[in-house]
Structure 1
Amino acid sequence: METSKIQTLHPEKGKTNKIIDRDKYEIIKETILKILQNSEPTHSELVKTVTDKLNTSFNKNVSWYTMTVKLDLEARKIIERTKSKPQKYRLKKPANHNI
């Protein structure tokens, strides 16, 4: 049985992102969105928190998938970077997104 895939997007014009398994995408996406419901982490904090939450249950490179999905969520305008130094991430739209 073939696994469903998703073409992820990149927030920078002209750049393409990866095609990944939809089930892995959904796990990472939901984890990121849950984290951002209650906090505005820096890049490092976001990756560390996702890794800490999924490291034992996710059988792939959590940080790589986190980066890929984070960029996709930025491109889809679901999350955004703040203008602060250091930059932080936050939800841009309500958290019930269907992709």
Structure 2
Amino acid sequence: MNDDSRVVCHTPTPGKKPTRIHKWKYDLLRGIILDILDSSADGVEFRSLPSFVDACLNPEQRANLGSVGWYTTTVKLDMEVQGDIERIPNASPQRLRLVDRSRQPGANAESRSP
């Protein structure tokens, strides 16, 4: 966890500047979010996502991460921009799901490497 390399996290909000976070934090949360959404056929309420992520962290990860809610939101927004996850249309409150890559052009292409 001493790696100083960083990942630029983008947001789908026009005009909003990207944020840089430690790569290990990005990789950790991205993996957890993918696992959570992969195990939920109906998607997950966004407001519940930080609690689900927190439950997947060990004490050392939790202590070194910082604000679970802030990092979860930052990584989640970047994953939306990258096309890994999406908001379920017309769902209120906001729900998230994995993007079905089999329906996308270039479905066999590798996803971005942070």
TM-score by shorter chain over 0.5: yes
**One-letter code aligned to 1:82:** I
Q: Which aligned runs of 4 or more in structure 1 are off by greater than 3 angstroms?
A: none
**C-alpha RMSD over aligned residues:** 1.9
Partner of 1:67: 73
Which of 75, 92, 96 is residue 99 of structure 2 equivalent to?
92
Indicate the percent of aligned positions where both proteins have the same amino acid: 35
Q: Distance in 1 between matches of 2:3 and 2:35?
A: 29
Residues 1-99 of structure 1 aligned to structure 2 (within 5 Å): 3-39=4-40, 40-54=43-57, 56-58=59-61, 59=64, 60-83=66-89, 84-94=91-101, 97-99=111-113
The normalised TM-score by structure 2 is 0.76
Matched-pair contact (CA < 8 Å) for 2:3–2:22: no
2:60 match: secondary structure: coil
Q: Distance in 1 between matches of 2:52 and 2:79?
A: 17
- Report how far residue 57 of structure 1 moved: 3.2
Q: Call closer, same or farther: CA 1:3–1:74 in 2, change over 3 Å.
A: same
1:52 match: secondary structure: helix
Q: What number of residue pairs does the alignment pair up? A: 98
Matched-pair contact (CA < 8 Å) for 1:78–1:91: yes
1:17-40 deviation digits (Å, cap 9, x = unpaired): 310110110000000000010111
The answer for unaligned runs of 5 or more in structure 2 is 102-109
